[in-house]
Structure 1
Amino acid sequence: MGKLVVGVSVVCTAAVVCGVAVLLMKRRMKNSGEWGKVEALLKDFEEKCATPVGKLKQVADAMTVEMHAGLASEGGSKLKMLISYVDNLPTGDEEGLFYALDLGGTNFRVMRVQLGGKEKRIVKHEVKEVSIPQNVMAGSSSEVLFDFIATALAEFVATEGDDFHLPPGRQRELGFTFSFPVKQLSIASGTLIKWTKGFSIEDVVGQDVVGELAKAMERAGLDVRVAALVSFSPNQIQ
């Protein structure tokens, strides 16, 4: 603790010293008449580095054209495009209990949240992070991976306290973030194009990852429906 305090103190002191030094240098240059030259030089540098608004508009228009082309046909654009079936955004009126599962690396996270609409917004939320063993990430099978995930999710659901309320007759809903290249088939289905981030389970490639998770949750005795699949995977489709 002592070392931490000393370290923070040293950093703060260094920042103060640097600030004072800059102020002194600025005052000295003003007194010598050099500060005006520095300001002019900086302004000239800023103007030369600025991108003209017309050029920025050209770039934006070109990207828009490429995005439309990519959505119109597979391989029709220089940009890597994958269709998303999300057709609207949250309004803030949402109420009830919802679950989320985020798989995107050596760990995955599960979360539950109680939404209270615009008045109460997020009433309560809880998160749990689970490490995935190396032997499950690579060289295993689809069943091994998704059974591991479903078991951890079932254990998390089992700890649901009285602060979370599921309306009678309503099934628990899950949002599934799968951060790997996926070709979505609907709002709640998509086939894996390829693995990244150290994962290597061949029998999952080309399969519907939501379907695999649903089968694993059924084997775990977990009554949860995947309501939406979200694939966030930048720089991974080559």
Structure 2
Amino acid sequence: MEKAVSIVKDFKEQCETPLGKLREVADAMNFEMHAGLDSEAASSMLKMLITYVHKLPTGDEKGLFYALDLGGTNIRALRVHLGGKEKGIVRIESEKVSIPPHLMTSSSNELFDFIATSLAKFVSSEPQEFHPPHGRQRELGFTFSFPVRQTSIVSGTLIKWTKSFDIEDLVGEDVVRKLTKSMAKIGLNMRVAALVNDTVGTLARARFSNHDVIVGVVFGTGTNAAYVEHAHAIPKWHGLVPKSGEMVINTEWGDFCSIHLPLTEYDQALDAESINPGEQIFEKVISGMYLGDIVRRALLKMAEEANFFGDTIPPKLAIPFILKAYEMAAMNHDTSSDLKVVGNRLRDIFEIHNTSLIVRKIVVELCDIVVIRAARLAAAGIFGLLKKTGRDTVKVVEQQRPVIALDGGLFEQYPKFRTCLESTLKELLRIEAAETIVIEHSQDGSGVGAALLAASHSQYLGVEDH
């Protein structure tokens, strides 16, 4: 057990995130954001994508709008009934469909035909009273949570895949055109009114009811952030300055990397064996898809080098991604005296039976190390965003009271991640500024937010019966 304790101690030291290091991460993030805004040809690792969203929801939007959310292993269709300032969001209906694994690596036609068919099935359940007038198309907000270079609010080409997707023939293609073609093929009379990233949707969802929201961040399977930028602070923007004078920027911060990130041998091995080695490094240390696998790799080393689970190495410890973040959360928040939940998870996931209390405590400590590092680095990223917009000082925040909208399964379902992120951000901000910055949960931003953006970019705005 002494050897196992030594491995954990070394791991903890390598993952440490003192405030000084976090400030260095934030400064590096800030630098890369500036570089990414300079020009498309800039060497910045942050793409700082122009979203063409300069008209965020005001709360006045009315009517029935759809949303389609594609960002992980499921697609979700939503129907959102808006009642304007008086009634707000009247009703939300949704349906989730799992994407067959083979479609994530097949062809774009197969994937989008499947999506369009699933969407049409959901639309068919629309109540009669909400059917659009003759000749009018239904309108859809399309959340596509992968790096896209947009050319308008309703068009954008895929730059590259992340997470578990790898469909070569879609890279460089317009994702809205592909979806529109598949919808037309089955006679679904629907128009994409807004193509958005889930972080932009998160921002829009919160902005519908709070005009002080300036940042939207998602911590889920992956991670990303979007924020409201002054149009004149975007050197690569060559279009007309919007009436609002603002533009939402999709940072694609998952691709951020810095010498200041506390990376370990487990992170390096995970990256080397991933489908995108050398990319999405920030995402690989803070997002839900990867946290469990970092813990698994540490446990495997302890089993191999310290007989942590006895004389034999449990075979399931060698299976990548077998440990999910939500299972980590369950173990991390086990309050029973004998850590029964931890024991049950080790049995159910890895087929490791009859673990001692000391073994269970060490497993919890590993989960602690990984999630605390993730949360503190996530806070450093948000602090970097605030520095970029000049909202990290008390003088500015007193005037503007900026609100940061957060969403995603990791943020929602992992209390330790959430509380650690919030407390770390307050540590990074000056005390006075920390009291003024507001963190808000933007419930279902990637879905409802997309429908709201479809509403604010509707081609029927101002039409009486809309």
- How far apart, CA to CA, are the structure 1 residues paired with 2:158 and 2:144? 9
Q: TM-score, length-normalised on structure 2?
A: 0.37
- How far apart, CA to CA, are the structure 2 residues paired with 1:123 and 1:209? 30
Instruction: List, as ranges, runs of 4+ consecutive aligned residues in structure 1 with deviation greater than 4 Å.
Output: 58-66
- Superposed CA deviations along residues 190-214 of structure 1, whole A, max 9, x for unmatched, are 1111112211211111100011000
- Superposed CA deviations along residues 29-66 of structure 1, whole A, max 9, x for unmatched, are xxxxxxxxxxxxxxxxxxxx888xxxx8x998986675
Q: Structure 2 vs 1, CA of residues 59 and 88 (structure 1 numbering), >3 Å: closer, same or farther?
A: farther
Instruction: Report the residue type matching 1:81 in the other structure.
Output: M
Question: Which moves more between the two structures, 70-79 or 80-89?
Answer: 70-79
User: Which one of the candidate residues 120, 123, 129 is aligned to 2:87?
Assistant: 120
- Superposed CA deviations along residues 85-117 of structure 1, whole A, max 9, x for unmatched, are 101210111111100000001101000111111
Aligned Cα root-mean-square deviation (Å): 2.6
Instruction: Report the residue type matching 1:164 in the other structure.
Output: F
1:155 and 2:121 are equivalent in the alignment = yes
Conserved? CA contact 1:181–1:236, under 8 Å: no
Higher alpha-carbon Rg: 1
Give the aligned length.
Answer: 185
1:73 and 2:39 are equivalent in the alignment = yes
3-state SS in 2 of match to 1:152: helix
Question: 2:171 is matched with which residue?
Answer: 205
Shift, 1:120, TM fit:
1.2
Instruction: Report the residue type matching 1:121 in the other structure.
Output: G
Gaps of 5+ in 1: 1-48
Q: Compare the two structures and name the one with the higher strand fraction.
A: 1
Conserved? CA contact 2:146–2:161, under 8 Å: yes
Shift, 1:78, TM fit:
5.5
Conserved? CA contact 1:96–1:165, under 8 Å: no
Conserved? CA contact 1:96–1:167, under 8 Å: no
Written as runs of structure 1 = structure 2, the 5 A alignment for 1:1-238 is 66-74=32-40, 75=42, 77=44, 79-138=46-105, 140-162=106-128, 164=130, 166-167=132-133, 169-232=135-198, 234=224, 235-236=254-255, 238=279
Between the two proteins, what is the percent identity of the paired residues? Answer: 65
- How far apart, CA to CA, are the structure 1 residues paired with 2:60 and 2:139? 17
Instruction: Report the residue type matching 1:192 in the other structure.
Output: L
